[in-house]
Amino acid sequence: MSGLRRRISSGGSHHEKEAMNQDSRLSHVDATGKVTMVDVSAKEISRRTARASALVTIGPQAFAQLTTIGVKKGDAFTTAQLAGIIAAKRTCDLIPLCHGLMPEFVDVRFELQPPDAVKIWTEARVEGKTGVELEALTAAGVAALTLYDMCKAVSKAIVIGPIQLEEKTGGKSGDWRRT
């Protein structure tokens, strides 16, 4: 752990520096360096939304099959959409320190990017004491993995990424949008 701390403090990437400037400490690490769950009990309930995306580059052959005749496993988009929605609802089962939110709305949509990629767009909403960024990101990631699973018989060279937060609203930290 101390090696990791030394590497980050000795420069780090642009993204590491940006994150350090926005918040001087990690939210799930206490002053002694011990991992801890954030206490949200005193926070006010507010409407919170998050939007995320994932890019899945599946290759031209899998793209053609996915968009014309389908794949052997069935309707890949419906399967990936349902997987993303279920994943958003189960995020706290997958990420140890994530609070147990029940999103009131989850949307998973697909944008074809010929000749070889699919962009996944997700949105999650909740009235709660903490944000739904992880739920939106988990929906995007699991939908992407499901597309991989549906297309892997055609191509093993599928690439997933980036998976990223696009926007969040609500809460003490306010609104944020990727520029």
Locate the domains of the chain by residue range: 1-36, 45-177
- What's the CATH class of domain 45-177? alpha beta
pLDDT tens sequence across 9-57 = 334 444 444 444 455 667 777 777 788 777 777 788 889 999 999 999 9
Residue 107 designated active-site: no
How far apart CA 148 and CA 144 sit, in angstroms, is: 6
pLDDT tens sequence across 57-86 = 999 999 998 888 666 556 899 999 999 999
CA-CA distances (angstroms) from residue 140 to 32, 34, 63, 66, 111?
Answer: 34, 30, 19, 18, 13
Q: What is the mean pLDDT of residues 138-144?
A: 98
Catalytic hit among 39, 75, 149, 175: 149
